[in-house]
């Protein structure tokens, strides 16, 4: 859809990330898209196509690659359902909706050849799925690995070697298909790279060549940056200063509160068992105290500003006594005017583990509300938007 407002930037692509749906196998992934994404499409683009940030597990990706003409068949399925795959989420490797995910989502990490093999499968798939009008597509991936798993070894060097190998293979894909597939590390609280300065330091030390930086960049998640109390504008300024390309921006929102007892009692409702909910608490004007999960933070009962990694619907600015970091999102969108326009992706995967009274009866309707909100914010920032 085209805005009638004055366009300040090139057209932006807005998608929703399908890791919100279970999909440990290809058949399950397609069934979930048919059940939910078709209805999102009917809400958002009833006479057109819906842009997807597709998530395929490693098993699903391997199924596509081992089938005869698997990528072409998947492209035909997407075309028949009026979906356009403009980006892939290559972060969760296995079953992202199993009973307990927690730190399993960070395995295998980038020191493991399995991560490279999975990402290359995704690169071949995305090159075949990108719409004809798109010459570039982003695959977001984990930021090396979970820090506690990689302390005391040369993990960054070994990960960098694999990323350099990946870049060389992505160059071959571009030469063969004229599609540039980029792989973008997504800083996340508690990982080896969890802030923009750490990501930039990694690039300065390990990703120096122009050819590697052509294919390896970062994916900026607004929730993750907010949890680390990192101003969105500062993150983008760091990337620009160090020549680190931002290939994708994930539009997402975290929980926040001021640590009052009644607020913490409500926050405790979000301490669920499937996903990790990293929490930072800013006490006074000092350095935030970081906790690997919400339960550990609640045990400390600190009086301060709390931010918790729980992807809540982006159209909410408050939830009961709690607030969200929604206000951070426009700052990030405005900051993107200083970089090449990335792909924008709404990534709220935690609908199913929200406290019961907050869950949408109609998941597709909730996702559509998020896309409409995000589209309005992008237009306000000066973008023409394709969804």
Segment 58-75, tens digit of pLDDT: 999 999 999 999 999 999
Going by C-alpha positions, the residue among 272, 273, 304 that lies closest to residue 289 is 304
Q: How far apart are CA 347 and CA 85, in angstroms?
A: 15
Q: How far apart are CA 114 and CA 317, in angstroms?
A: 39
Domain presence at residue 147: yes
Which pLDDT does position 8 carry in this prediction? 53
Domain presence at residue 262: no
Cβ count within 10 A of residue 102: 14
Domain presence at residue 63: yes
Going by C-alpha positions, the residue among 245, 213, 228 that lies closest to residue 279 is 228
Domain presence at residue 305: no
Task: Give the residue, 204 or 338, on which the prediction is more confident.
Answer: 204
The helix/strand/coil state of 344 is: strand
- What does DSSP assign to residue 374? H
Domain presence at residue 122: yes
Q: Which domain holds residue 161?
A: 12-253+326-386
Which pLDDT does position 298 carry in this prediction? 98
Q: Are 140 and 90 in contact (CB under 8 A)?
A: yes
Going by C-alpha positions, the residue among 281, 273, 232 that lies closest to residue 256 is 281
Domain presence at residue 179: yes
CATH number at residue 233: 3.20.20.150
Domain presence at residue 347: yes
Q: How far apart are CA 334 and CA 317, in angstroms?
A: 19
Segment 102-154, tens digit of pLDDT: 999 999 999 999 999 999 999 999 999 999 999 999 999 999 999 999 987 78
Domains of the chain: total? 1
Domain presence at residue 152: yes
Reported confidence tier of residue 338, pLDDT bands at 50, 70, 90: low
Reported confidence tier of residue 286, pLDDT bands at 50, 70, 90: confident
């Amino acid at each position: 859809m085209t805005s009638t407002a004055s366009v300040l930037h090139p057209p932006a692509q807005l998608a929703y990330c399908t890791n919100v749906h279970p999909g440990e196998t290809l058949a399950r992934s397609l069934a979930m898209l048919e059940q939910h994404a078709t209805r999102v499409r009917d809400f958002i683009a009833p006479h057109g196509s819906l842009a997807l940030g597709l998530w395929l597990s490693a098993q699903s990706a391997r199924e596509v690659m081992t089938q005869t003409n698997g990528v072409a068949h998947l492209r035909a399925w997407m075309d028949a359902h009026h979906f356009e795959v403009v980006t892939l989420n290559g972060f969760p490797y296995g079953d992202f909706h199993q009973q307990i995910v927690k730190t399993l989502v960070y395995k295998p990490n980038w020191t493991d050849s399995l991560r490279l093999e999975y990402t290359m499968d995704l690169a071949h798939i995305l090159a075949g799925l990108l719409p004809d009008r798109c010459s570039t597509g982003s695959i977001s991936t984990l930021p090396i690995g979970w820090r506690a798993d990689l302390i005391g070894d040369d993990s960054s060097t070994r990960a960098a070697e694999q990323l350099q190998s990946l870049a060389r293979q992505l160059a071959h894909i571009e030469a063969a298909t004229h599609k540039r597939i980029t792989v973008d590390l997504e800083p996340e609280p508690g990982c080896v790279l969890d802030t923009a300065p750490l990501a930039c330091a990694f690039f300065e030390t390990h990703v120096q060549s122009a050819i590697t930086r052509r294919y390896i960049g970062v994916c900026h998640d607004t929730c993750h940056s907010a949890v680390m109390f990192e101003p969105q504008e500062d993150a983008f300024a760091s990337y620009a200063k160090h020549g680190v390309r931002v290939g994708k921006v994930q539009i997402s929102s975290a929980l926040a509160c001021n640590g009052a007892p009644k607020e913490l009692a409500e926050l405790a409702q979000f301490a669920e068992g499937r996903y990790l909910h990293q929490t930072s608490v800013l006490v006074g004007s000092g350095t935030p105290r970081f906790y690997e999960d919400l339960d550990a933070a609640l045990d400390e009962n600190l009086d301060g500003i709390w931010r918790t990694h729980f992807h809540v619907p982006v159209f909410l600015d408050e939830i009961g006594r709690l607030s969200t970091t929604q206000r951070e999102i426009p700052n990030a969108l405005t900051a993107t005017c200083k970089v090449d326009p990335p792909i924008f992706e709404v990534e709220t995967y935690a609908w199913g583990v929200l406290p019961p009274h907050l869950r949408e009866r109609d998941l597709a309707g909730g996702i559509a509300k998020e896309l409409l909100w995000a589209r309005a914010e992008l237009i306000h920032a000066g973008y023409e938007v394709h969804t």
